[in-house]
C-alpha cells in the first residue's frame, strides 16, 4: 500500500505552520482559566453585571460604549456564574493572542509574531483583564482585528478587507471612545500608501463617511459621558512623568501592578502623586531603602532593558520595510493618549493603553530579533532576564489577592 506522499506533506506543513501558535494558545488557555473564579467580583465587575441585567448599560440608555455590554447580555442568558461571566474575556484574550501573531508574522516575520504572542500570553496585566468581567480584552481584540484588515487593504485594496476594517473600527468606537485615536495612524497610512491613487482613497473615504454617519447620532452622548468621566475620579491622577510613561512597558510585559514592589501598601494614587511631586532621585532615596531593594532594582534594570529593545526596533532598519506601519500604530495613538492626559485629566493608565499595547509588544519582539541577529549571546541574556522578571510577576499575580468583594483592586 502506497502512502499518499503529497497529502502527508500538506499535513506536515500545516502542522509546522500552526503548531507553535497552537502551543502558545494552549499555554494562554491554562493561564487564563487557572484560578478564574478564585477572587471575588470587584466593583467594576459588579457594575458590568448589574447594569447589564438592569438594561442601563444597553442601548438606548447607553450609547457611549454599548458593544461589550450587548455581548455580555447575550452571554449571561446561558449562566451567571463568576467563572462563566469571566470566560467571555478569556475568549477575547485568546483571540487577541492569535491576531497579534497574525499581524506580527505578516509585517515582521513569523519569529516576531510568535514572540509577540508569547509576550501577550505571559503578561500578568493582560491575564488580569482576561479574568474579569470587563471589556479590556475586547478592546485589543477589535484594535488588532481592524489593523489586520487594514494591512490586507493596504497591500491589496479589495472591498472585503476595507469593509472589515470599517466594521472593526466602528465596533471599537462603540466599545471605548479611546478607539478614536486609532484613526490617526490609519489615516496617515492610507494617505501615504494611496497618495497617487484617488479611486482607492475614495473607497476608504466612503467607508469613513459610513463610520461617521453611524457614529454621529452617538457623538452627543459620547461627548457628555467623556466630559463627565474626565471631570470625575480620574482628576485625582497626576499628569504622567517620565517614570509613569516608561513603567508601562514593565506593567505590560512582566509585573502588575508595580506599586506592589514597594511592599509598603501605598496606593496607586498616592504613588503617582509622590512621583510627580518629587524628583526621581529624591523618591528613590526615600523609598528604596525601606522597600524590597533587590526586586525593585531588578525591575528598574529590566525596564531599562525593555526600553532599549524598543529603541532598537524604532531606530534601526528591519528586513521588513512594513515594520514602520507598526511603529505608526504604536506611537501615534499612544501620543494622542499622552496629549489628552496633559491637556485634560490623565488617562495614561495600563488598561486604557491596551488599545495600543499589542503594537509595542510587536516592536519589543522585533527588537529582540534584531539583537539575536547581531549577538545571540546577548539575546539569550535578555531572554533570561525577561524570564526571571515575568516568572516573578506571574508568581506574584497568582499568589496575591487583588480583588475585594464589591470593592476596588488592592
Whether 405 has a pLDDT exceeding 70, the answer reads no
How many Cα neighbours within 13 Å face the side chain of 60?
Answer: 1
Instruction: Estimate the share of the chain in helix, then strand, then coil, as percent rounded to the nearest 5.
Output: 75, 0, 25
131 versus 321: the higher-pLDDT residue is: 131
pLDDT in tens, 222-265: 988 888 888 888 888 888 888 889 989 999 999 888 777 765 55
Per-residue confidence (pLDDT) for residue 77, from 0 to 100: 96
Cβ atoms within 10 A of the Cβ of 206, count?
12
Closest CA to 340 of 348, 351, 349: 348
Nine cell digits for residue 47: 457594575
Per-residue confidence (pLDDT) for residue 309, from 0 to 100: 97
Residues 134, 68: Cα–Cα separation, whole Å: 8
285 versus 181: the higher-pLDDT residue is: 181
DSSP string covering 266-309: --HHHHHHHHHHS-HHHHHHHHHTTS-HHHHHHHHHHHHHHHHH
402 versus 25: the higher-pLDDT residue is: 25
Residues 267, 237: Cα–Cα separation, whole Å: 12
Q: 300, exposed or middle or buried, with CB in 10 Å at 0-12, 13-18, 19+?
A: middle
Residues 259, 291: Cα–Cα separation, whole Å: 11
Q: CB neighbours of 293 closer than 8 A, spacing ≥ 6?
A: none
Q: Are 341 and 162 in contact (CB under 8 A)?
A: no
Q: How confident is the model at residue 293 (pLDDT cuts 50, 70, 90)?
A: confident
Residues 374, 342: Cα–Cα separation, whole Å: 39
Q: Are 256 and 128 in contact (CB under 8 A)?
A: yes
Of all residues in the chain, the percent with pLDDT exceeding 90 is 70
Residues 26, 17: Cα–Cα separation, whole Å: 16
pLDDT in tens, 86-119: 999 999 999 999 999 999 999 999 999 999 999 9
Whether 193 has a pLDDT exceeding 60, the answer reads yes
Residues 164, 153: Cα–Cα separation, whole Å: 9
pTM for the model: 0.92
Q: Does residue 257 have a cis peptide bond before it, meaning omega lies within 30 degrees of 0?
A: yes
141 versus 248: the higher-pLDDT residue is: 141
Whether 17 has a pLDDT exceeding 70, the answer reads yes
**For the chain, what is the mean pLDDT?**
89
Q: Is the dihedral of CA 135, 40, 252, 334 positive or negative?
A: positive
C-alpha distance from residue 393 to each of 225, 260, 295, 398 (Å): 35, 10, 11, 9
pLDDT in tens, 145-178: 999 999 999 999 899 999 999 999 999 999 999 9
Residues 369, 252: Cα–Cα separation, whole Å: 19
Domain ranges of the chain: 20-399
50 versus 409: the higher-pLDDT residue is: 50
Interval 35-41 mean pLDDT: 91
Q: How confident is the model at residue 1 (pLDDT cuts 50, 70, 90)?
A: very low
pLDDT in tens, 324-382: 999 999 999 999 999 999 999 999 999 999 999 999 999 999 999 999 999 999 999 99
Residues 368, 306: Cα–Cα separation, whole Å: 9
Q: Are 116 and 104 in contact (CB under 8 A)?
A: yes
DSSP string covering 186-247: HHHHHHHHTTT-HHHHHHHHHHHHHHHHHHHHHHHHHHHHHHHHHTTGGGGSPPP-HHHHHH
Closest CA to 164 of 177, 179, 153, 174: 153
Amino acid at each position: 500500500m502506497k502512502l499518499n506522499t503529497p497529502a502527508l506533506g500538506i499535513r506536515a506543513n500545516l502542522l509546522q505552520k500552526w503548531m507553535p501558535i497552537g502551543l502558545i494558545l494552549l499555554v494562554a488557555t491554562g493561564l487564563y482559566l487557572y484560578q478564574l473564579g478564585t477572587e471575588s467580583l470587584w466593583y467594576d465587575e459588579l457594575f458590568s453585571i448589574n447594569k447589564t441585567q438592569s438594561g442601563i448599560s444597553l442601548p438606548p440608555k447607553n450609547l457611549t460604549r454599548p458593544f461589550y455590554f450587548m455581548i455580555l447580555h447575550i452571554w449571561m442568558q446561558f449562566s451567571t456564574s463568576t467563572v462563566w461571566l469571566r470566560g467571555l474575556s478569556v475568549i477575547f484574550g485568546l483571540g487577541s493572542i492569535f491576531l497579534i501573531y497574525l499581524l506580527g508574522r505578516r509585517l515582521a516575520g513569523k519569529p516576531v509574531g510568535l514572540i509577540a504572542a508569547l509576550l501577550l500570553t505571559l503578561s500578568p496585566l493582560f491575564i488580569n483583564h482576561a479574568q474579569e468581567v470587563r471589556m479590556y480584552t475586547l478592546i485589543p481584540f477589535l484594535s488588532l482585528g481592524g489593523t489586520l484588515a487594514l494591512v490586507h487593504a493596504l497591500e491589496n485594496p479589495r472591498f472585503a478587507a476595507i469593509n472589515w476594517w470599517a466594521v472593526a473600527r466602528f465596533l471599537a468606537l462603540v466599545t471605548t471612545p479611546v478607539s478614536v485615536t486609532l484613526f490617526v495612524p490609519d489615516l496617515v497610512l492610507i494617505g501615504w500608501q494611496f497618495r497617487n491613487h484617488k479611486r482607492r482613497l475614495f473607497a476608504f473615504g466612503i467607508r469613513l463617511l459610513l463610520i461617521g454617519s453611524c457614529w454621529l447620532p452617538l457623538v452627543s452622548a459620547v461627548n457628555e459621558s467623556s466630559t463627565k468621566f474626565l471631570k470625575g475620579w480620574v482628576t485625582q491622577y497626576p499628569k504622567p512623568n517620565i517614570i509613569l510613561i516608561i513603567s508601562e512597558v514593565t506593567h505590560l510585559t512582566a509585573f502588575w501592578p508595580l506599586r506592589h514592589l514597594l511592599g509598603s501598601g501605598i496606593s496607586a494614587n498616592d504613588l503617582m502623586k509622590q512621583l510627580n511631586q518629587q524628583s526621581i532621585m529624591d523618591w528613590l532615596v526615600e523609598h528604596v531603602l525601606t522597600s524590597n531593594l533587590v526586586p525593585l532594582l531588578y525591575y528598574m534594570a529590566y525596564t531599562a532593558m525593555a526600553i532599549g529593545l524598543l529603541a532598537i526596533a524604532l531606530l534601526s532598519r528591519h528586513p521588513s520595510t512594513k515594520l514602520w506601519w507598526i511603529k505608526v500604530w504604536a506611537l501615534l495613538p499612544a501620543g494622542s493618549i499622552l496629549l489628552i492626559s496633559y491637556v485634560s485629566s490623565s488617562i495614561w493608565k495600563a488598561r486604557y493603553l491596551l488599545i495600543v499595547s499589542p503594537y509595542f509588544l510587536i516592536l519589543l519582539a522585533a527588537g529582540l530579533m534584531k539583537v539575536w541577529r547581531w549577538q545571540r549571546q546577548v539575546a539569550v541574556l535578555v531572554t533570561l532576564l525577561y524570564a526571571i522578571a515575568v516568572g516573578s510577576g506571574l508568581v506574584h499575580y497568582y499568589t496575591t489577592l487583588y480583588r475585594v468583594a464589591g470593592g476596588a483592586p488592592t
